[in-house]
Amino acid sequence: MGRLLSSITYQTLGGLLSPPTLLWWVLKGRYGTRWADRLGFPLAGGQNPWWFHAASVGETRSAVNIIRALSDYREKTQGLQNCNPLTRPLADLELANELANVEQASLATETLCDDRLDFYVLSVGTPAGLERAENLSLAVINDSLLKAKKAPRIQVMAPPLDFWGAPSRSLDRVAPRALIIVETELWPDLIHQAQKRRIPVMIVAGRLSQKSLRRYLKVRSFFEPLLAQMALIAVISEADKHRFMELGAPSSIIRVVGNPKFDPLIQVAKETQTPFDCPFGKNGSQKVIIAGSTAEDEERLIVEAWVKLKEKTQLILCPRHLGRLKALKRYLKDFLTNQGMVFRLFSDIPCCDWGQSAGKEPDEKSRQNWPDLILVDRLGVLAQLYGSADLAIIGGSFFAGQGHNPLEPAAYGVPIIFGPHMSSFAEEAQSLIEAHAALRVCPSDLPAVLAQWLERGEEFLSGQAAREFLAKRDLVGPRLAALVGRALNAPLTPDCPDIHP
């Protein structure tokens, strides 16, 4: 009765408050288009797909990595060695390494051997996330075709609003085999309606910050029954596990697995590849420093700390938001002119035209006339640019904010410096510091730290240690694929242990 009253209250308040809230979000560009999807009339679905739901860009990466792992694992189980009843035990034993139980592994293999299951629906809430989902899905399909594998079917849609009956209509039209929520996008009515239809609901790459936990605990009685009926909650860390338990999730359904978002970086570290061939630096003796995802005021800090090392280093500055380019160009022109230095935009560097001339060596004259500083004016290139760096400075970490991903440069064997504010990647940051691959620096100490790095090199910060930190990790996606496949066939039990990264 209590849950019914809570549901009625939620739906009533949501129905009344959502129109002005939606109008505000539309005006802010939060939702964009795809209103048929959002109102519960999606074109996607049919044939019992796996329905993955992600909030935005970051969660979309995780979702696509898990989809890729599920598809790859199904490719293995489709072979005669795995799905033939006479040799089936071999597949069970292989999967048992992931699940530590042969009987549980048999259930997972049985699910993933079903030829009808290589069909996925991916719903993403934001316009940027939807665009990224379309691009990543196409990349997965192309990669499968290049490897002469059967490509998975992936349909991208916007998620339903959690009011006005939209979740019910969407679930009836999509008819998913399972609803898999990436990280912590907990829409109560969508989860409730799925569980009401006996559709298994799972959380993968689950994370719950202390701040979010405090907010959820205010309505614990509302979320506890939803979490209790989950088929699986696969979380990133032990801290996340304890927070979900505090919110009411039974420990028997929670597994500590790790973050699939980082699987591509782990793969890069294992393959020791450098994807960007453009040789930065005026001459072969110059070191290259890349300052990535910088926030306002950090550019001044970094540029003025770097300028003392200008003869021996080149700086590549990659701001987080390109809307500030005009002001940045004005600042750089004024400051660098007084120093007898010049900068150029990334898009104006000849060998930075990735679509046409990437990897072409500039001639000696061009090399000598290269700028002291390069300002990156394109989106989506930072992760690959780190492969050309000798040192990475992580923005969004010196004056405010929560930091950005330090594992992107680590994958290419690049040592890392960041500021005091790295709460979004606190565990990764601390692990890199302990590995002698990264250093946390106060803003006032940055000039001295850069000078020490230039003088002492690997002895001061080790790029090799950064790469090894990632390379020794196991991929998370395959382990999640095993757990998801098994969770569809039987409830999890305490004898299925955590799988630690």
How far apart are alpha carbons 266 and 344 in whole angstroms?
A: 33
**Helix H or strand E encompassing 16:** helix 2-27
The pLDDT, as a whole number, for residue 313 is 93
Q: Of residues 136 and 395, which shows the higher confidence score?
A: 395
Residue 315: Cβ-neighbour burial (10 angstroms; 0-12, 13-18, 19+): buried
**pLDDT recorded at residue 131:** 85
Q: In one letter, which amino acid is 401?
A: G
Is pLDDT of 408 > 80? yes
More confident of the two residues 216 and 359: 216
Query: Taking a C-beta distance cutoff of 8 angstroms, is the pair 49, 120 a contact?
Result: yes
Give yes or no for a contact between 332 and 373, defined as CB atoms under 8 angstroms apart.
yes
How many CA atoms lie less than 13 Å away from 404 in the CB half-sphere? Answer: 20
Q: What CA–CA distance (Å, rounded) separates 120 from 157? A: 11
The band of 253, judged by pLDDT with boundaries at 50, 70 and 90, is: very high
If we measure between CA atoms, which residue out of 215, 211, 209, 217 comes closest to residue 183?
209
* pLDDT recorded at residue 261: 87
- What token pair was written down for 232? 């699986």
- Rounded to an integer, the average pLDDT of 63-71 is 87
Considering the chain, what is the average pLDDT of its residues? 80
Q: What is the pLDDT of residue 5?
A: 44
Residue closest to 51 by CA, chosen among 149, 151, 138, 172? 172
* pTM for the full predicted model: 0.74
Q: Please, where are the H alpha helices in 457-500? A: 463-471, 477-487
Output the DSSP codes for 318-343.
Answer: EES-GGGHHHHHHHHHHHHHHTT--E
Q: Which amino acid is at 438?
A: A
- Asked if 477 and 74 touch (Cβ cutoff 8 Å), the reply is no
CA-based end-to-end distance of the chain: 41
**Are the C-beta atoms of 501 and 257 separated by less than 8 Å?**
yes
Show the tokens assigned to 497. 């242990």
Paired residues of 27 in beta bridges: none
**Helical pair 102-112 and 57-78, crossing angle rounded to 10 deg:** 100
CATH class of 26-259+476-487: alpha beta
Cβ atoms of 262 and 406 within 8 Å: the answer is no
Cβ-based burial of 373 (10 A; exposed 0-12, middle 13-18, buried ≥19): buried
Residue percentage of the chain with pLDDT more than 70: 73
The 10s digit of each residue's pLDDT in 107-154 is 444 555 555 557 899 999 888 788 888 888 777 766 665 555 666 788
Cα–Cα distance measured from residue 136 to residue 163, given in angstroms and rounded to the nearest whole number = 29
Dist CA 96 CA 489 (whole Å): 15
Comparing 453 with 84, the larger pLDDT belongs to: 453
Ordered by start, the domain boundaries in the chain are: 26-259+476-487, 276-349+362-471
Scanning the structure block, which residue is given the tokens 């006479």?
A: 86
Q: Is 443 helix (H, G, I), strand (E, B) or coil?
A: helix
With contact defined as beta carbons under 8 Å apart, do 463 and 437 qualify? Answer: yes
* Helix axes 57-78 and 127-146, enclosed angle (nearest 10): 30
Strand order in the sheet with 416-418: 343-345, 373-375, 313-319, 287-294, 391-394, 416-418, 438-440
Q: What is the 3-state secondary structure (H, E, C) of 144-156?
A: HHHCCCCCCEEEE
Pick from 393, 391, 384: which is nearest to 294 by CA?
393
Q: Are 480 and 66 in contact (CB under 8 A)?
A: yes
Q: What is the pLDDT of residues 293-349, one digit of tens each?
A: 999 899 999 999 999 898 899 999 999 988 889 999 999 999 998 888 999 999 887
Q: Are 400 and 296 in contact (CB under 8 A)?
A: no
Distances (CA, A) of 200 to 175, 179, 266, 491: 12, 6, 30, 10
Tell me the sheet residues that pair with 418. 394, 440
Does the structure show a pLDDT above 50 at 101?
no
> What topology is assigned to 276-349+362-471 in CATH?
Rossmann fold (3.40.50)
Q: Are both 26-259+476-487 and 276-349+362-471 of the same fold? A: yes
pLDDT band of 493, cuts 50, 70, 90: very low
What are the distances in angstroms from CA 244 to CA 187, 277, 427, 480? 16, 45, 18, 18
> Long-range contacts of range 279-284, CB-CB < 8 Å, 24 or more positions apart?
279/351, 279/361, 279/362, 279/367, 279/388, 280/314, 280/316, 280/370, 280/374, 280/388, 281/314, 281/370, 282/314, 282/367, 282/368, 282/370, 282/372, 283/367, 283/368
Distance CA 8, CA 417 (A): 51
